[in-house]
Amino acid sequence: MNNPDPAGASHHRWADVPLEQLKAGLTRRLVSGERIMVAQIELKAGEDVPRHAHENEQVSYVLTGALRFWLGANDEREVTLHAGEVLVIPSNVPHRVLALEDTFDLDLFNPPRQDWLAGTDAYLRR
C-alpha cells in the first residue's frame, strides 16, 4: 500500500509489500525511500548469504533468531548477532552471513540498494 501525501511521505503495510523468494530458505520484503531502504529478511537455519560488498552502509537488526557475520576479505572479524542486537557495516566492507537459527531481521541501507530494486542481485538468487 503506497499512499503519497503532498509532502512526499508514503505509508506501507508489510503485509501488502510483495514477498520475494530469493532462495529456498531466504525471503525478503523491502520498502525504499529516496535515500534509505528497509528490508525484512527471513532466513531458515543453515541458509547463507555469500561474501559480497556494496557501497551502501548497512544496519542489520536481528528481531528473532541468530546470525553469524564474517567481516573482511579474509573473514578477519566474526560477529554473532542474537535477537535484540544490531550490527553496523560500513560501506564497501566485504561480509558474509550464516543463519544459526530461523531468523527474522531488518536491514537498512543508505543509499538504497539499486541491485535489489532492479533484481540484479544474483548472489542472493542461486
Per residue in 87-113, pLDDT tens? 999 999 999 999 999 999 999 999 999
Structural domain total, the chain? 1
Q: Answer yes or no: is 97 within a domain.
A: yes
Q: Between these two residues, 5 and 40, which has the higher pLDDT value?
A: 40
Domain hosting residue 37, numbered range: 32-124
Residue 74 sits in a domain whose CATH number is: 2.60.120.10
Q: Answer yes or no: is 98 within a domain.
A: yes
Q: Answer yes or no: is 76 within a domain.
A: yes
Q: Answer yes or no: is 83 within a domain.
A: yes
Residue type (1 letter), 124: L
Note if the pTM is more than 0.85.
yes
Q: Answer yes or no: is 2 within a domain.
A: no
| CB neighbour list of residue 106: distance below 8 Å, 6 or more residues apart | 38, 39, 40, 41, 60, 61, 63
pLDDT computed for residue 2 by the predictor: 55
Helix segments in the chain, DSSP class H: 114-118
Q: Answer yes or no: is 9 within a domain.
A: no
